[in-house]
């Protein structure tokens, strides 16, 4: 009996997760990727000769179990992720650290009890909101925004500024006034309201290409999978027996094709079939939010008080919401990654000004003068994620055409457009293909 074959377009986290699951079942997979770097919108970037940085800083939480399963499956080392107790640290303003050794809900309750920088009114407000959500089984009106949720649960100004808004922007990459309260509640349900391990922060110690894409590529190579980098697929043409890929050096039709590109490439490929115009138009209409990463190499002996700290964001405070000490996370000593999530006034700033403002913001938060950067870089992903708004259309893995599938972080999910959403969509896509094939390896 012939072995099933599948083409996957896109070697990001979704496409590679799909390919790994298919290969694990014995399917022969070929992955096409237009770039020479693996990872899609979560990848390493080579800058100025010896600097290797990510195109954006990603955080995982312990609740995001599918990606960590795939890391184990493909031979990744547990040491590639720093496991930190849930910690919210804003220098001089807030320190809240969950008690990792205690079961839920005592891990969070103990951390909240001993939190510095929050009044009793703030702590009562936080507990009140979590109880309010649990009472409703974390099910909210579909039109509710995160700002609406905070008003409904009477959160204090300090809780809004120091905890909820930064968490919302970090998790959903969408401003609180626009963000879906339901998706935010899902994240809280599976992290803060779950076990201590589920609320852990998992921060990559290696670059985002090395974390999963490179081990996934090695895994595929040992299972007769093929990875064609630098090979763009420009169109899909329905033919007898499946699809012909424009740009594929081979000539055989593919009975199953997975479009695992960013949504703004997926719509073009779908439209090229001549049978997915409505779906292509819906994906083309998806709103997006940017992520800006400001890297500052401050030199040896420069450290942050925690591997990750919060930065008060605003018109007078500064542009960034979070700063990561890459030196404490397996990178060069003194390299800081400052993250500006979602849209805002910073988008109008020249890059040099953005570097100056972020440097000054770090100085204010740390309460000391910092050396001028030995090296700096601004990386802008203008369409880093979809805007996670109430009622936004998120398609499923199936398309109107038999044998044509979708995978990506923008697909229907309980979670926002994260690495976990990407790999879950890829795994779900692979499972559906295998079920349709009736193939068990």
Domains of the chain by residue range: 5-42+207-286+389-437, 86-195, 288-386
Q: Residue 300: which residues within 8 A CB-CB, separation 6 or more? A: 333, 334
Say yes or no: domain 288-386 is CATH 3.40.50.300.
no
Look up the pTM and report it: 0.94
pLDDT at position 379 = 94
242 forms beta bridges with: 239
Task: Establish how many alpha carbons lie within 13 A of residue 167's alpha carbon, considering only the half-sphere containing its beta carbon.
Answer: 25
In three-state secondary structure terms, 27 is coil
Kindly report, residue by residue over 239-252, the tens digit of the pLDDT. 999 999 999 998 88
Position 43 pLDDT exceeds 90: no
**Residues facing 331 on adjacent strands:** none
Structure tokens at 210: 């090395």
Please provide the DSSP assignment of 55-90 as one string.
Answer: SS---EETT-HHHHHHHHHTT--GGGEEEE--EEEE
Q: Give Cβ neighbours of residue 161 (< 8 Å, ≥ 6 apart).
A: 312
C-alpha distances out from residue 381 to 246, 291, 378, Å = 27, 5, 10
As to burial, measured by CB atoms within 10 angstroms (0-12 exposed, 13-18 middle, 19+ buried), residue 274 is exposed
Residues 6 or more apart from 205 whose CB is under 8 A from it? 79, 80, 81, 82, 329, 330, 331
Whether residue 376 has pLDDT greater than 70: yes
Cα–Cα distances in angstroms (integers) from residue 104 to residues 66, 111, 120, 395, 400, in the given order:
21, 11, 21, 34, 44
Q: How confident is the model at residue 1 (pLDDT cuts 50, 70, 90)?
A: very low
CA–CA separation, 5 and 2 (whole Å): 9
pLDDT in tens, 390-421: 999 999 999 999 999 999 999 999 999 999 99
Instruction: Place domain 5-42+207-286+389-437 in its CATH homologous superfamily.
Output: FAD/NAD(P)-binding domain (3.50.50.60)
pLDDT per position as a tens digit, 145-201: 999 999 999 999 999 999 999 999 999 999 999 999 999 999 999 998 888 888 899
């Amino acid at each position: 009996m012939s072995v099933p074959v599948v083409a996957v377009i896109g070697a990001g986290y979704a496409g590679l997760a799909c390919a790994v699951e298919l290969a694990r079942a014995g399917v022969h997979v070929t992955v096409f990727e237009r770039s020479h770097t693996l990872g899609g919108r979560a990848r390493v970037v080579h800058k100025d000769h010896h600097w290797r940085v990510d195109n954006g800083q990603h955080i995982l939480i312990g609740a995001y179990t599918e990606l960590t399963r795939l890391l184990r499956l493909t031979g990744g080392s547990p040491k590639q992720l720093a496991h930190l107790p849930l910690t919210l640290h804003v220098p001089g303003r807030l320190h809240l650290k969950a008690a990792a050794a205690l079961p839920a809900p005592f891990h969070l309750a103990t951390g909240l009890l001993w939190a510095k920088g929050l009044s009793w009114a703030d702590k009562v407000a936080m507990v009140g909101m979590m109880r309010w959500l649990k009472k409703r089984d974390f099910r909210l009106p579909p039109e509710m925004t995160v700002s609406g949720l905070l008003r409904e649960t009477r959160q204090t100004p300090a809780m809004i500024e120091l905890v909820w808004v930064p968490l919302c922007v970090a998790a959903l990459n969408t401003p609180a006034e626009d963000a879906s309260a339901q998706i935010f509640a899902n994240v809280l349900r599976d992290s803060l309201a779950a076990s201590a391990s589920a609320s852990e922060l998992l921060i990559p110690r290696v670059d985002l290409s090395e974390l999963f894409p490179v081990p996934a590529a090695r895994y595929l190579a040992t299972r007769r999978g093929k990875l064609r980098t630098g090979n763009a697929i420009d169109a899909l043409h329905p033919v007898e027996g499946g699809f012909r890929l424009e740009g594929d050096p081979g000539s055989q039709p593919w009975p199953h094709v997975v479009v695992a590109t960013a949504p703004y490439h997926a719509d073009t490929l779908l439209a090229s079939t001549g049978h997915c115009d409505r779906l292509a138009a819906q994906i083309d209409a998806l709103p997006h939010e940017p992520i800006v990463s400001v890297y500052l190499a401050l030199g040896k002996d420069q450290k942050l008080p925690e591997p990750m700290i919060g930065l008060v964001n605003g018109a007078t405070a500064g542009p960034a919401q979070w700063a990561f000490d890459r030196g404490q996370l397996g990178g060069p000593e003194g390299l800081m990654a400052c993250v500006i999530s979602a849209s805002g006034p910073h988008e109008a700033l020249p890059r040099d000004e953005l570097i100056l403002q972020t440097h000054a913001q770090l100085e204010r938060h740390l309460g000391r003068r910092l050396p001028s950067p030995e090296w700096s870089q601004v990386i802008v992903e203008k369409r880093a994620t979809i805007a996670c708004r109430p009622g936004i259309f998120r398609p499923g893995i199936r398309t109107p055409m038999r044998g044509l599938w979708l995978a990506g972080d923008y697909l229907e999910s309980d979670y926002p457009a994260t690495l976990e959403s990407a790999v879950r969509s890829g795994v779900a896509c692979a499972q559906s293909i295998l079920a349709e094939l009736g193939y068990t390896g």
